[in-house]
Amino acid sequence: MLKNGTRAPEFELADQDGKRHTLKSLLAEGALILYFYPADFTPGCTKEACSFRDLQKDLVAAKLRVVGVSPQDAESHKRFAAKHGLNFTLLADQDKKAVKAYDVDGPLGFGVRRGTYLIDADGTIRDSVLADLRIAEHEAFVQRALAAGAGQKNR
């Protein structure tokens, strides 16, 4: 994981609808929760994505956006979002460039580790968590960001 207080690496990736996004464009609206996950449709990743979906109203109130990143293609993300009613952006990182830049590549380059970053509007990593199979730690991380009103400081 990248250290808190460091600059978040820039990237450019397509979302589930084929629209291109950069980190800079995502931060234009304020602070961002950027989470990396291993794969669409797996039980743990589905639980995590649905918890973000269910917190969307609270996230918006705190002026926080959530964006998920995994190596599946845009079409897989589109099906995943549709099946589970996901109301946030999923980015396709098939070459794992962002995965590697954010230091969440799996052991020996296989898979993706479950990591979540809170990034300020200026691109600074404020907080992070790496918990792999412990999805509850990611949920607690998001709850702390909400309680702190993380996005409020960026508006």
CATH assignment at residue 105:
3.40.30.10
**Residue 104, amino acid:** V
DSSP class of residue 114?
Answer: -
Domain assignment present for residue 141? The answer is yes
pLDDT in tens, 136-150: 777 788 888 888 765
Q: Which amino acid is at 4?
A: N
Active site residue 45: yes
| pLDDT tens figures, 72-113 | 999 999 999 999 999 999 999 999 999 999 999 998 888 999
**Residue 1 domain flag:** no
Q: Is residue 138 assigned to a domain?
A: yes
pLDDT in tens, 13-65: 999 999 999 999 999 999 999 999 999 999 989 999 999 999 999 999 999 99
Residue among 107, 104, 105, 106 at smallest CA distance from 117? 104
Query: How much is the pLDDT for 147?
Result: 81
Domain annotation covers residue 4? no
Asked if residue 91 belongs to a domain, the reply is yes
Q: pLDDT at position 154, please?
A: 44
pLDDT score at 70:
98
- Tell me what the pLDDT averaged over the chain comes to: 91
Round to whole Å and give the CA distance between 99 and 91.
11
pLDDT digits (tens, 9 = 90+) for 15-29: 999 999 999 999 999
On whether residue 7 sits in a domain, the answer given is: no
| pLDDT given at position 150 | 55
Higher pLDDT, residue 110 or 154: 110
**Domain contains 104:** yes
Instruction: Say yes or no to pLDDT of 135 above 80.
Output: no
Please enumerate in sequence order all residues whose Cβ is within 8 A of that of 67, keeping only pairs 6 or more positions apart, or say none: 21, 26, 32, 33, 34, 35, 88, 89, 90, 91
For residues 155 and 148, give the distance between their C-alpha atoms in angstroms, rounded to a whole number: 14
Q: Write out the residue range of the structural domain in which residue 136 sits.
A: 12-154
From 45, 55, 90, 142, the catalytic residue: 45
What is the total count of domains within the chain?
1
Does any domain span residue 112? yes
Q: pTM value? A: 0.91
